[in-house]
Every structure is written in structure tokens, then in C-alpha cells.
Structure 1
């Protein structure tokens, strides 16, 4: 959420093992009180690590950890079997550097069924389901987003999180280490049905334009059977795997997490066919401009290397 980057890694050379820990100081207690979104973000970072390890020819032996006595310890990854890297994972490596959230209008071009199936299969590999709402379900999802946006306008907690994690005075990627800078806000939505969060809130951003967005947005829901911390980590890995593959397929993406931040709005998002599962992420996909690169924390702040 909001490019908070709430993760830390420790690498132990002797055992060739990474540990991933949550950085709860970067949590958002108002918008994400259960730290579900934080876990999803950490899961996405873990998937990127697995992809990088596979790209280098190693097998990433990964374990998701849940210890109530040490809730910050989320996962471990051990490098095993050099020369036997997962080819499907390793092939996603170049997309890590190319994928950026795009908060710009997309074309009305429909995503081919073959690409949709491939994206759903990518999520399935990580123990999650990816579905594309249509017809009345799509309308219901869009209405949930609108309701969440209306609530956020008057909710002090949501407004405070937005103020804490957006930067309206960072003209380039080198001016901050985290958060969403104003050059990545995209234009204000003048028309269209695409679910867009206005990261500027009530603030004015000099030179920012308005634009018409898609009349028929293409949304995808990532869901899991259960709703535990380990499921949130799986959802994060599934989301990132979908996004990396989508990038290689020429798609752009943004997130629409607003209804997921309200308990009563999250439940109706689930797949109406099965009526089961918990929606963990809402994606907007389509063909359009790539988003700009956003800041990243220095490696020294997120990686500790031990003998």
C-alpha cells in the first residue's frame, strides 16, 4: 500500500538462507489495521526474490512462517540445487525492473482470453485464484469502489495515511525513498468508470491535468480460500506473479484497494459463482502507458548480510 515497502531481509551466507521480516513501523493502522495489506506487500517482495534466485540458476526453497511469538518473521528462503532454477519463475526476471503502477487512462482494447487464462494460471501456481468480474458482478465491484472512495473523503484516518505516504514536493525519483510522489499520481479522473484513487486528496498539484478513463474497465480479483497471515502472503506472491507476467504480455496495471479497506465492502467482492473465498486484491489491467518509476529504499536499509 502506498509504496511503504514494509519489509526487511537478512541473508545468512553459511546456510544460504534469506529471512524476510515485516517492518511494522511502516504499517498503516488506520487503513490496514489487521496488517493484511502489509503482508500482501511483503508477499510481493518475496515473489520478486524467488524470481531473482531462479534467474540466477538456484532453486528457491521457500517456507511461509507464522509464529505468534515472533509475528514479524514471515518467511525463509534457502538457495538449493544450483543449476536447477525454476524456468517459469526465472523468465519473469526482466519484468521486475519494467513493472510500475500506471495511473493513466488505458485503451478500451479487450484483453485476449488466452492472456486472461495465463494470468489466472500464474495466480493458481501461488495458491490463489484470479477472476475477472463481468456483467452485474463488475457493476457491483465498481459500486463498492465508489462507496469506499466516498467514505475515504470524510474518514480522517484514511486521509492521514494518504498524507503520510504521498509526496507532493518530490520532483524526481531521487528526492524520496518511499511513498507515492506526485509525478506518479496520474491525471485526475474527469470521466469514465475506471476505479482510480486520487492520491492528491484535497491538495492541489501544480500542472496536473484531468483525463477521461476507460468506459469499460477490465478488473481482476485475487482471492484465497482462507484469510490468515499465510494466505495474505500467498495472495501477495500471486499478485506479483500476475503483474510480472502481465508486464511481459504488454499490459499495464494499477490497484484499487479502496473497498478492501472496509470490512463490509470487502465481502461482497467475492466471486458470485463459487460464493467462497476472500478477496485480497483488486487489479485494474489494460493496454496503456507504463507508469513512472517510484522511489525505493536503499539496499542497506532493507538487507542485512550475515556470515
Structure 2
């Protein structure tokens, strides 16, 4: 099939979709460059927006970039390409995290792809209580399929295992707020940043759980002037665990692809999500987050799912500011 024209308008659409992906503290640690002679859109790390205290290995950065690649791939399919994604395509360039070749057209348009593409623009992280019914098992099964399509696994823990994971998250949250380096880094990336469209704006911050059951990230502990009164969260949170079989940079990128695929599929179903990343920021707690009963695997993200308000979007850098000419 003939490929669509890769003109300036199409390129802006592709990059705008990519930057709508989630990233830790909304750092948006990515840059893009088109190589015209090969029709490859390169996705590179933006080290100036890394988090050395919170993410010393760069694992979360790779997860964020993987999520951006999923959006980019989805947008390319929606526009009529059959994109070929290569992760870590050049060992000599560790900052080049992915390449997406756009030189072949797709044979047909799939409604499922169009639905995921529409979800890119509606997906938001929710930091407030969920108020609706439990997420149906059929929807959870669909989300697990989405993770599996990206060579990852979405584990659905029982009530006892969920309680254990929340205790690990609470311990990580305590450590995050008392560790000087992580506390300072989180403070730098929360609230307004001189009008720049990255970081977590005050409007997107959420309250704490009045019952202490659900340990949401407490930005108010870092900046008391942004503190919100506590409220009661859902009594039985549905927590899922995103796992990969390996724990190398390519696995981190695949975790990002799977994470965003799950989040977009959830959005299609009208399910809201928030990311409980705290325990992933401490190596020994991340190791403890795995369930040994399911064999060797590595936890990459805890995802809270439910029904509730849409939530406030976080700002994004415009395509022109992350696209290298």
C-alpha cells in the first residue's frame, strides 16, 4: 500500500500524540528527529529533564519514552502507516531509544486503532477518589490483553496482596518525603515552573486519603501552601501490577509501551487510572513488589483503576519544542 505523505502537518500530529504520554513528574524526557532519507522518526532521551535522585538508573525515563512510542505508533497507524518500531536501534547511541520507520502504508484501517488514537487526547492521570462501581472482570481481562500485546503482563492481585502492595507504597512515600535529594527534586517539578508546560501544576495535584488506606503522592508535604484537605478514597482500591520478564533498558521501554496501551484501553472503556510509582523508586521495594508465586518477573508500575471524574489534564510541550530539525 502507498504510504501517506509525511509532511509537516502529519509530523506535528505524530509528535503531538507522542508527547501526550505520561511521564514521572510530567518531565516529558523525550526528543524527536526525522531522518528524511530513511523515513525514520527517531525518539531520543532528553537528559536535561531526567530525575537523577528519583530515577538514578533511568528506568522511569525509559518507561516514559516507551509510552510516547506507543502513542506515536498508534497515531501512525491511525493516519494510514504500517509503522516499524525498533527499540534501542544503535548500541553506539545509548540516547537513541527508538526509531519508528514510516515508509509503508497500512492495508486497512482498524476501528480498534482509531479508538485508541481518540483515547490519546482524553487520557489523564486521576489523583482524586474513584466513586463508581468496581471495574468489571471482562474489562480487566481486556487490559491484561493490552499488556500482553506489548510483551508484558498485567497482574490482578487479590485483596491480601493488594494490601501488601499498598503498605510498600506507603513506606516508599514516607521515604520520598524525608529523603533530602528526592524531596528537593520533587519540589522542583511540582507547581508552576515559570510558565513552562511541564512539571505537575497545582491544579493537577490531589488530596490525601483521610483514612490513610491509599498512599497517594503527597506533594503537599513538599510545599504546604499547596496542601489540600484530606478526603475519603475508595474502600477497596483495584490495584494492578505491570510486570516484565527482564529488567534491562529494552524491558523498561516495553513496559512503557504496555503501560500506555493499558491506559488507552482503559480510557476507551471509560475507566480512570492513576499511577502509584513510589515503590518503583526504591530498588529493594520494587523487588518486594513482585509476587514470587508468578515466577521470575520485575514490577515496573502499580496502576490504580476505577470510575470517577475525568480529572485535570497536565500541560505538554508543543511539538515544535521537542522536534529537532
For Structure 1 versus Structure 2, the TM-score category normalised by the shorter chain is: over 0.9
Unmatched runs of 5 consecutive residues or more in structure 2:
1-23
2:152 aligns with 128
- Deviation per CA, 1:20-57, whole angstroms, max 9, x where unpaired? 10111111111100000000000000000001001001
How much does 1:78 deviate? 0.8
- Deviation per CA, 1:106-147, whole angstroms, max 9, x where unpaired? 026211110011000000000100011113211110110111
Q: Residues of 1 paired with 2:306 and 2:48: CA distance?
A: 34
2:228 aligns with 208
How much does 1:188 deviate? 3.0
Determine which structure has the larger strand proportion and give its number: 1
How much does 1:304 deviate? 2.6
Match of 1:47 among 63, 70, 76: 70
Contact 2:219 2:227 in 1 (8 A): no
How much does 1:97 deviate? 0.5
Contact 1:108 1:215 in 2 (8 A): no
Q: Residues of 2 paired with 1:76 and 1:85: CA distance?
A: 23
- Deviation per CA, 1:275-298, whole angstroms, max 9, x where unpaired? 321001111111011121111112
2:305 aligns with 285
Match of 1:58 among 81, 89, 110: 81
Map 1:213-292 onto structure 2 (within 5 A).
Answer: 213-292=233-312
1:138 aligns with 162
2:54 aligns with 31
1:101 aligns with 2:101: no
Contact 1:58 1:85 in 2 (8 A): no
Determine which structure has the larger helix proportion and give its number: 2
Map 1:68-107 onto structure 2 (within 5 A).
Answer: 68-84=91-107, 87=110, 88-107=112-131
Match of 1:199 among 190, 208, 219: 219
| More off after superposition, 93-102 vs 147-156 | 147-156
SS of the residue 1:239 aligns to = helix
Q: Residues of 1 paired with 2:191 and 2:226: CA distance?
A: 13
How many equivalent residue pairs?
A: 301
1:112 aligns with 136
TM-score calculated relative to the size of structure 1: 0.93
